[in-house]
């Protein structure tokens, strides 16, 4: 079911007209659909309902409290990568014993905080991190349950900037070195070996990379058990892709689950997953207004009031976002445009050579599939205010983050006493 649809030519989120929200909060803004969000979580959860599984929503995809709380009520755990995300997860009602701490450079302070609140699992990224965790856990008189995040040397076939499972990636421990590090972990005080984890990348649109990576990780689980380790949980990360344009057909959660369940049958592990994009990506749009049309000898530009600071994915990952009108124009004329934002950067381009309706100044447009890595990656470059986020549920909508004011923007800076 799609919850961003047209009624009499007007784009709606569930039963609320996007134009109405735009009138109320101004543009640009993010708009999320509760029904879509909940549906995506349930589809994933139901795909694993016949096996023990914990679904830890990857907060970095979208860490608004209202989004996390909606998922918490559905029983989601959290995959976090910083103390800030642990705090956000707890504040939204996710219990500590459903939180897994991934993240490449956990600081002493972050580890200490995670131990104090009693999270479920630390996913270890390096030998020195393991040693630090053991030290801090001794001092705090706590036991840290760990997985080592292994790199199975599988290329997810995704964009280079979101590939994490290959030998040259900064993430994880090479799978060949994992047995020795597990041996060390088992010998360290206040460390409890419980799990193995991997996360090979994001926006993966085929099953083969998962199949290959998970087979290698499962072989490792068997080797570790043979060496006397207790492996009760298997954390298979996130990364399942979503369709950004109509032509893509990534595997469904059910197809993904079939592969996983086939591989893990009789393994006797609780499965853990860390989906982010899959849950929230298609549950959000970014709404923007056309500022001007500009024709140069070489191209025609559609200049909109959203910029790369609001949605950086096209700039950072060459990502494709479908661009649709909020009100379907009467005349069905189309031309080829470059869609650009107002930021003073050549890279502030949302789409090149896109065939679009001929919009006019003041028209509203929407970037689809902007729920993941949209608002959470936004910033104030060019002294642009952080944009509002709106959550729709049925016929209601609520502002879940206000537009930052200029006063707030400037008040973040502090003057030294000599000025
Ligand atoms: C980013 C990330 C995820 C979520 O990835 P998606 O592609 O959004 O599902 C999960 N686990 C880890 C460790 C991550 O870094």
Q: How far is the CA of 388 from the centre of ligand 1 (A)?
A: 24
What is the pLDDT averaged over residues 277-297?
97
Q: Is residue 56 part of a domain?
A: no
Q: Is the pLDDT of residue 43 over 70?
A: yes
Sign of CA dihedral 113, 116, 118, 123: positive
For residue 13, how many other CB atoms are within 10 A of its CB?
Answer: 28
Residues 137 and 260 reside in one and the same domain? yes
What is the pLDDT averaged over residues 5-14?
97
Using CA positions, which residue lies closest to atom 3 of ligand 1?
238
Q: Is residue 144 part of a domain?
A: yes
- Using the atom order of ligand 1, give the atom closest to the CA of residue 275: 9
Question: Which residues are the active-site residues?
Answer: 344
> Residue 35 in contact with residue 393, Cβ under 8 Å?
yes
| Residue in the structure block whose two tokens are 């049958």 | 265
Q: Is residue 88 part of a domain?
A: no
Q: How far is the CA of 185 from the centre of ligand 1 (A)?
A: 24
Q: Residues with Cβ < 8 Å from 25, sequence gap 6 or more?
A: 388, 390, 399, 403
Cα–Cα distance, 135 to 191 (Å, whole number)? 10
Q: Is the pLDDT of residue 226 over 60?
A: yes
Q: Is the pLDDT of residue 251 over 70?
A: yes
What is the pLDDT averaged over residues 396-401?
98
Residues 143 and 218 reside in one and the same domain? yes
Q: Is the pLDDT of residue 332 over 80?
A: yes
Residues 309 and 267 reside in one and the same domain? no
> Residue 212 in contact with residue 154, Cβ under 8 Å?
yes
Residues 145 and 180 reside in one and the same domain? yes
Q: Is the pLDDT of residue 2 over 80?
A: no
Q: How far is the CA of 368 from the centre of ligand 1 (A)?
A: 20
What is the pLDDT averaged over residues 280-308?
97
Please, which residues bridge with residue 354 across strands?
337
Q: Is residue 369 part of a domain?
A: yes
CA distances from 406 to 57, 88, 380, 387 (A): 33, 25, 11, 12
Residues 134 and 264 reside in one and the same domain? yes
What is the pLDDT averaged over residues 197-205?
96
CA distances from 318 to 243, 285, 366 (A): 15, 18, 18
pLDDT value at position 130?
A: 98
What is the pLDDT averaged over residues 140-166?
89
Tokens found for residue 171: 């993430």
Residues 165 and 216 reside in one and the same domain? yes
- Using the atom order of ligand 1, give the atom closest to the CA of residue 164: 15
Site to probe by mutation for ligand 1, drawn from 238, 251, 372 as the one with most ligand atoms within 8 Å of Cβ, is 238
H-type helices in 270-400, by residue range? 277-280, 313-317
Q: How far is the CA of 171 from the centre of ligand 1 (A)?
A: 12
pLDDT tier at 355 (50, 70, 90 boundaries)? very high
Residues 317 and 333 reside in one and the same domain? yes
For the chain, the straight-line distance linking the first and the last C-alpha, in angstroms and rounded, comes to: 58
Helix axes 208-226, 253-264, angle to 10 degrees: 30
Residue whose C-alpha is closest to residue 200's, from 167, 234, 166: 166
Q: Is the pLDDT of residue 163 over 80?
A: no
Cα–Cα distance, 341 to 339 (Å, whole number)? 7
Residue whose C-alpha is closest to residue 351's, from 302, 388, 279: 302
> Residue 234 in contact with residue 218, Cβ under 8 Å?
yes
Q: How do beta strands 191-197 and 364-367 pair?
A: unpaired
What is the pLDDT averaged over residues 216-235?
98
Q: Is residue 74 part of a domain?
A: no
* Residues of the domain holding 11: 4-32+281-411
pLDDT tens by residue, 367-387: 999 999 999 999 999 999 999
Q: Is residue 342 part of a domain?
A: yes
CA distances from 147 to 155, 198, 238, 274 (A): 22, 9, 15, 14
For residue 49, how many other CB atoms are within 10 A of its CB?
Answer: 9
Site to probe by mutation for ligand 1, drawn from 40, 56, 241, 274 as the one with most ligand atoms within 8 Å of Cβ, is 274
Q: Is residue 255 part of a domain?
A: yes
Q: Is the pLDDT of residue 1 over 70?
A: no
Q: Is residue 59 part of a domain?
A: no
Tokens found for residue 347: 């890279």
pLDDT value at position 331?
A: 85
Number of domains in the chain: 2
CA distances from 392 to 32, 168, 297, 366, 396 (A): 6, 42, 43, 15, 6
Q: How far is the CA of 22 from the centre of ligand 1 (A)?
A: 31
Residues with beta carbon inside 6 Å of ligand 1? 58, 60-61, 79, 102, 199, 202, 237-239, 274-278, 372
For residue 150, how many other CB atoms are within 10 A of its CB?
Answer: 27
> Residue 406 in contact with residue 384, Cβ under 8 Å?
no
Task: Please give the model's pTM, rounded to 2 decimal places.
Answer: 0.97
pLDDT tens by residue, 176-193: 999 999 999 999 999 999
pLDDT tier at 42 (50, 70, 90 boundaries)? very high
- Using the atom order of ligand 1, give the atom closest to the CA of residue 123: 13
Residues 294 and 265 reside in one and the same domain? no
Site to probe by mutation for ligand 1, drawn from 202, 250, 273, 375 as the one with most ligand atoms within 8 Å of Cβ, is 202
């Amino acid at each position: 079911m799609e919850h961003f649809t047209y009624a009499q030519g007007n784009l709606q989120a569930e039963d609320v007209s996007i134009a109405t929200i735009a009138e109320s909060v101004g543009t640009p803004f993010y708009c999320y659909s509760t029904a879509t969000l909940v549906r995506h979580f349930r589809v994933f959860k139901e795909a694993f309902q016949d096996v023990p599984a914990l679904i830890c929503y990857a907060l970095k995809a979208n860490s608004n409290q209202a989004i996390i709380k909606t998922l918490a009520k559905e029983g989601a755990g959290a995959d976090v990568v910083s103390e800030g995300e642990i705090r956000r997860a707890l504040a939204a009602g996710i219990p500590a014993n459903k939180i897994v701490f991934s993240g490449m450079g956990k600081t002493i302070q972050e580890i200490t905080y995670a131990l104090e609140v009693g999270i479920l699992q630390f996913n270890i990224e390096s030998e020195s991190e393991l040693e630090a965790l053991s030290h801090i856990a001794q001092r705090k008189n706590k036991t840290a349950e760990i997985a080592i995040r292994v790199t199975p040397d599988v290329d997810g076939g995704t964009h280079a900037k979101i590939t994490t499972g290959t030998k040259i990636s900064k993430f994880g421990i090479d799978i060949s070195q994992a047995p020795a590090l597990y041996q060390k972990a088992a010998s360290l005080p206040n460390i409890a070996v419980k799990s193995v984890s991997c996360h090979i990348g994001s926006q993966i649109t085929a099953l083969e990379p998962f199949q290959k990576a998970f087979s290698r990780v499962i072989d490792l689980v068997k080797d570790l058990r043979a060496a006397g380790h207790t492996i009760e949980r298997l954390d298979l990360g996130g990364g399942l892709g979503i369709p950004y344009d109509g032509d893509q057909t990534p595997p469904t959660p059910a197809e993904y689950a079939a592969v996983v369940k086939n591989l893990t049958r009789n393994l006797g592990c609780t499965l853990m997953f860390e989906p982010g994009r899959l849950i929230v990506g298609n549950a959000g749009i970014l709404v923007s207004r056309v500022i001007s049309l500009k024709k140069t000898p070489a191209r025609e530009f559609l200049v909109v009031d959203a910029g790369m600071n609001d949605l950086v994915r096209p700039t950072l990952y060459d990502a494709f976002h479908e661009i649709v009108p909020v009100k379907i124009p009467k005349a069905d004329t189309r031309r080829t445009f470059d869609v650009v934002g107002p930021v003073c950067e050549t890279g502030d381009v949302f789409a090149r050579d896109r065939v679009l309706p001929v919009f006019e100044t003041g028209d509203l447009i929407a970037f689809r599939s902007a729920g993941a890595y949209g608002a959470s990656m936004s910033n104030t470059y060019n002294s642009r205010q952080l944009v509002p986020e709106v959550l729709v549920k049925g016929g209601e909508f609520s502002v879940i983050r206000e537009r930052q004011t200029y006063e707030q923007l400037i008040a973040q800076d502090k003057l030294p006493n000599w000025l």
